[in-house]
Structure 1
Amino acid sequence: MVDVQIRKNQRSPLQKSFKNTKKTDPSLNPEYAATLRTICPLPLNPNTTVDMDPDQSSLSFDSHYFKALNQKKGLFLSDAALLTDPNSAQIAQVLQNGPIFLARFAYSMKKMGGVGIL
């Protein structure tokens, strides 16, 4: 679960143009945006929480984040930003595949261990 205030306080110039309107931010899936509006009605309650991984258990380590991201169900601006760059969008597309995600994650962890980060 994540504090909704994070999304509220992280606004891009594009999102500011949708503030205080009934229009949906085009970087969000319209159905997901409607769900968020139901969970987070105005005025916002700072104690409201939202799952960062919609439609899935946030307790499992899997590629679902990338599936949701490619369906425009990213909760944070940084999520939506991944799809604006063709290179990162392609990576997000590939990492939807569970076995590929796990293999790439394992490779990355080994590399980080080799440079003393972990």
Structure 2
Amino acid sequence: MKKIFNFTGKGDQDPSLDPDYADFLRTQCKNSTDRITTVEMDPGSSLSFDNHYFKILKDRKGLFVSDAALLTNDDARKFALKLLNPKKFFDEFAKSMEKMGAIGVLTGNQGQIRKHCSLVN
């Protein structure tokens, strides 16, 4: 909510956010304390598996601060803009799934399930 109502503490919106999209979000989220409203993270393509997210990211319509952060780092920006190409997106997705499959999963008594993600039990 801070992103659209009080980003810097002066009643402003995140300057990295498209102004029209911010206006739309304010029609959905009535005030800065609204914690129930649901909006699409990938408007226009939320029910499809595709690279549309990178188009809205380029158009400054990322819902989260972390979305906008992808465009502030030169390397991340270059990579995100490459993923506007559907073939590149699906190729990179396939590579990432292969890497995820190579992660050793801990089972039985190995490792621990943390009660709080940021703290070791």
Given the two structures, how large is their TM-score scaled by the length of structure 2? 0.75
User: What is aligned with 1:3?
Assistant: none
In the TM superposition, residue 70 of structure 1 has moved relative to its aligned partner by: 0.7
User: What is aligned with 2:110?
Assistant: none
Overall identity of the aligned pairs, in %: 50
Q: Against the structure 1 CA distance between its residues 16 and 24, is the aligned structure 2 distance closer, same or farther, given a 3 Å change threshold?
A: closer
Does the alignment pair 1:49 with 2:41?
no
Does the alignment pair 1:16 with 2:8?
yes
Number of equivalenced pairs: 103
User: What is aligned with 1:71?
Assistant: 59
Deviations 1:48-76 (A, max 9, x none): 1111002x131111000111001110001
Give RMSD over aligned pairs.
2.0
Unaligned runs of 5+ in 1: 1-7
User: What is aligned with 1:103?
Assistant: 91
Does the alignment pair 1:35 with 2:39?
no
Could you tell me whether the CA contact under 8 Å between 2:42 and 2:56 is conserved in 1?
A: yes
| Greater than 4 Å deviation, 4+ residue runs | none
- The one of the two structures with greater contact order (alpha-carbon pairs below 8 A, sep at least 6) is 1
Unaligned runs of 5+ in 2: 106-121
Could you tell me whether the CA contact under 8 Å between 2:7 and 2:13 is conserved in 1?
A: no
Could you tell me whether the CA contact under 8 Å between 2:57 and 2:67 is conserved in 1?
A: yes
